[in-house]
Structure 1
Amino acid sequence: MIRKSIVLVTGIVIIALLFLFHEPLLQWIQNNEQDYVILTTIIATFMSLFPVIPYPIVGGVIGAAYGPILGAFVIWCGSTLASIIFFSMVRYGGFDTFGQKILLKYSSTKKITLLFEKNAFMSITILRMIPVIPSILINAYAALSRVSFLSYSIASGLGKIPAMTLFALVGHTIVTDPTEIIYMIIIYGIFISITYAGYRLWTKRIDSAISS
């Protein structure tokens, strides 16, 4: 109970601070280009952990300030660290036991969870690449399952690379050459289509497992 209270209170305080100060923080990033990489990464981490504003906006600002390569690395680090922190908050904050009981209570959710755990690395990597799936749902579901911390961390980091790179590129391109955004959207659209096809194959396996 104490662990849950600490996690909840800490989260509420951070959310409140980010809600009040997110605009000054973004302006600070814009005005201190490449001078404070570590501090910017910390800010990006908290903004990804509790997205009071959409993280693509944060990524775009950092990409414009730091360039496509360093910017992509910074927002990738921030997003990956945030997912690991959230996973840890749920798994080790006292919510895991209750969550596992819910996931394993019904036969349908039990089969999905067991299949997810069996193919955890590939499942998490693919799910991360599909932008329409909220990151917080993936974080929470993985934390409540019995996926290992190491597998989750590595798969989550790999799956985030395409989207984080795109955010940084868009932010940088808006400042330098906005016309290139069209080409990036086309390339990313093709990539997402391929990823989605793989995701559909994965969901068919789930449907087969549930019906069997």
Structure 2
Amino acid sequence: MIKKLMIAAIYALIAFLIYIFGDNILNWFQQTNNILLIVSMASIMALFPIIPYPLVGGVIGAALGPVLGAAVTWSGSSIASILMFLFVRYGYQEWGQRVLSRGKSINKVTVMFEQNAFLAILFARMLPFIPSIIINVYASLSRVSFITYAIASSIGKIPAMLLFVVVGDNIMSSPQNLPITIVVYGIFIALSLGAYRLWQKRAIRPAAG
């Protein structure tokens, strides 16, 4: 228990430091050319989401351009989600599974989630209204394998990361293209949501039978 509390305290301390120096970090993104350092800092910003990551991605996109910015933003977000998965999996999974198994409805959802983990994580990542931290924690507390999570999560992050950097780049260089970008992404999200609901119905039917 003491070890878990210490880890939580360290996490809270780093989050507090990012809250204090957040503006300086965003300014630094616009001034440095060291890609490795930018990826590392982007990972930290995604791991401790005090500043909304879409804002971070927009700043990186404006600084590096849409292609390199998307790659850096995606890398940082993917690394952060994997680190969060490992952090919760090896620090809190035993406790979390006890919590998930208490309610019958939650337990049924978890079983269905584990049976269709790749698609569930993939679609959940594509839907921007599902908080990333919920996906990270829920997957790590379940019995989903690390490989399944890492691949599905990383692929599912690609569309959102592209949006963040393209919006950031458009604001700085071509603001007239911004509405088109948002409309195209909205259509993509609508299609993803429809596919996700269709998959849910098909996944529930065998479980009910």
TM-score by length of 1: 0.93
Structure 1 segments, 4+ long, off by >4 Å, are 205-212
Amino acid at match of 1:85: L
- 8 Å CA contact 1:45, 1:81 repeated in 2: yes
* C-alpha distance in 1 between matches for 2:188 and 2:200: 19
Q: Is structure 2 residue 193 aligned with structure 1 residue 196?
A: yes
The alpha carbon displacement at 1:211 in A equals 6.1
> Are 2:26 and 2:56, in contact at CA under 8 Å, matched by a contact in 1?
yes
Structure 1 CA distance for aligned equivalents of residues 42 and 165 of structure 2: 12
Alignment correspondent of 1:67: 65
Query: d(CA) in 1 for partners of 2:136 and 2:173?
Result: 35
* Aligned-residue CA RMSD (Å): 1.6
Name which of structure 1's ranges 130-139 and 99-108 shifts more when overlaid on structure 2: 99-108
Q: Assess if the C-alpha contact under 8 Å between 2:112 and 2:207 holds in 1.
A: no
Q: How far apart, CA to CA, are the structure 2 residues paired with 1:92 and 1:98?
A: 11
Describe how 1:77-116 pairs up with structure 2 within 5 A.
77-93=75-91, 95-116=92-113
- Amino acid paired to 1:88: L
Match of 2:150 in 1: 153
TM-superposition CA deviations, 1:103-152 (whole Å, max 9, x none): 22222111111111111011100000000000000001000000001110
Contact 2:74 2:157 in 1 (8 A): yes
Shift of 1:191: 0.6
CA distance in 1, matches of 2:126, 2:22: 26
Structure 1: distance between partners of 2:131 and 2:187: 20
TM-score by length of 2: 0.94
Conservation of the 8 A alpha-carbon contact between 1:71 and 1:168: yes
Percent of counterpart pairs with the same letter? 48
Shift, 1:71, TM fit:
0.3
Residue of structure 2 equivalent to 1:144: 141
Contact 1:108 1:210 in 2 (8 A): no
In structure 1, runs of 5+ residues without a counterpart are none
Q: Name stretches of at least 5 consecutive residues in structure 2 with no aligned partner.
A: none
